[in-house]
Each structure stands twice: as structure tokens, then as C-alpha cells.
A and B are shown apart, each in its own frame.
Chain A
Amino acid sequence: GAGVSQTPSNKVTEKGKYVELRCDPISGHTALYWYRQSLGQGPEFLIYFQGTGAADDSGLPNDRFFAVRPEGSVSTLKIQRTERGDSAVYLCASSTLTGGGTEAFFGQGTRLTVV
């Protein structure tokens, strides 16, 4: 079946511009996570949705970052006034439910480059 789909796969934007990154989770997965992975680092947690609501957004670095999941399926990560330090791979993951040991399925990521 289809896995987690992220679009675009690559995005180059100018400093100060606004970008949207999309995540289409596996059908039926209620939990959705966004992570950011910088070069040579492990993924860092940004935000977690259970259904339509953001259950935990403690990983968002500042108020330029925002994410929505209006119908409990597709999610969009929005970054305003992009900075060069925002350059990274943004990963999305989904899972069936929250609980110890639940496997998260990851998308291929969106590589964002701010020039």
C-alpha cells in the first residue's frame, strides 16, 4: 500500500519567503509527527497531531513555524520569513495509535534550502 508521502521532495526558497510543506500520511493513521533533520544530526521533534489537533507543539523552534491538519489526514507545515538556518530535511511520520512501541512510518522528507 501507499506509504507516507511528502511534497515537494526538494524546495529552494529565498530568505524571507514563506513556504509550505505537505505530508500525506498512511490512510487510517491518527497520529502524525513532524521532525527536522539537519546535516549529520538525528531527526528532532517539531510537532505531533492526534487527529486534527496539535497535541504537542513543544518542538517548534519559534512562532515562524506553524502546522495544521484540518481534516485529520493531510498536514501542512508552514514556515514564515524563512532564514538560512531553517535549511534542513523536514520529515513526516504517521502511526496507528499512540502507545509504547508503536511503529512510526516515515516519509522520504522534504529537503528545504534557504538561500
Chain B
Amino acid sequence: GNSVTQMEGPVTLSEEAFLTINCTYTATGYPSLFWYVQYPGEGLQLLLKATKADDKGSNKGFEATYRKETTSFHLEKGSVQVSDSAVYFCALSDSNSGYALNFGKGTSLLVTP
């Protein structure tokens, strides 16, 4: 079956540091890949996505590239801000599961001034 593994947190960084959150997946088909974010006190929201191999998703300075050869979708940001403090979830979906999302466990990020 499908599964997503992401690095465990919490991750603590100073403002302007470089961020990488690793995500790898297992899938039988050709999934779409997502990063969702949950800010404190808010609901889950889509951060970025990629629907096929070698696609790069980007939003708010975050990027992730769909790497089929390494089954990875690592999240990166060159310079984090305090406002980026949140929990980040890697997820996949494919037609076999009705496009329901299969999430990783989440990675908590705390950015300090």
C-alpha cells in the first residue's frame, strides 16, 4: 500500500536559516505529492504540490521537487521566518484510493528570532 515517511521533529531553527524537511514515499501507482501546513490554531492548508516526476512545486518561498528515482519530495526554504513556525505534513494521493490523501506524521518547525 501507499505510505509516506517524513523526518521527525521538532525542528528548531534561527530566523534566516536554511530549512530542509525530508519526505519519502511508497506508492504502487503514479501519485501526486503535496505539502500541507498547519499554523497554530488554524486548519490544514495546502502549501504546494507536484503531480508528476520532476515537477517542482513552490509557494511562499518553499520548494519541493518530485523525484521519482529516489521516491522523495523534500521541502526546502532558503531563509525561514518566525511566521513559518508550524507543523508540516507531506502527503500523497492517487486514483487507487479515490484521491484521498495519505499523510506522513508531520514535522513541527519552530523558528526563533
Residues of A within 8 A of B (CB): 3-4, 31, 33, 35, 40-45, 48, 50, 55-56, 59, 91, 93, 95, 98-109
Contact = CB atoms under 8 A, between A and B. Distances in A.
Contact of A91 (B44, B46, B51, B97): B44
B89 to A, nearest CB: 5
Interface of B: 4, 30-32, 36, 42-46, 49-52, 89, 91, 93-95, 97-106
B49 A33 contact: no
Contacts of A31: 98-99
B105 A45 contact: no
Which 6 pairs, one residue from A and one from B, show the smallest C-beta to C-beta distance?
A: A42-B103, A101-B51, A106-B44, A100-B32, A98-B99, A101-B32
A100 B100 contact: no
A109 B43 contact: yes
Given A100-B94, A101-B51, A43 B43 contact: no
B99 A100 contact: yes
Given A42-B106, A44-B103, A59-B100, 20 more contacts: A4-B43, A31-B99, A35-B101, A40-B106, A41-B105, A41-B106, A42-B89, A48-B97, A50-B98, A55-B98, A98-B98, A99-B99, A100-B31, A100-B52, A100-B93, A101-B32, A101-B51, A103-B46, A105-B45, A106-B45
Contacts of A48: 97-100
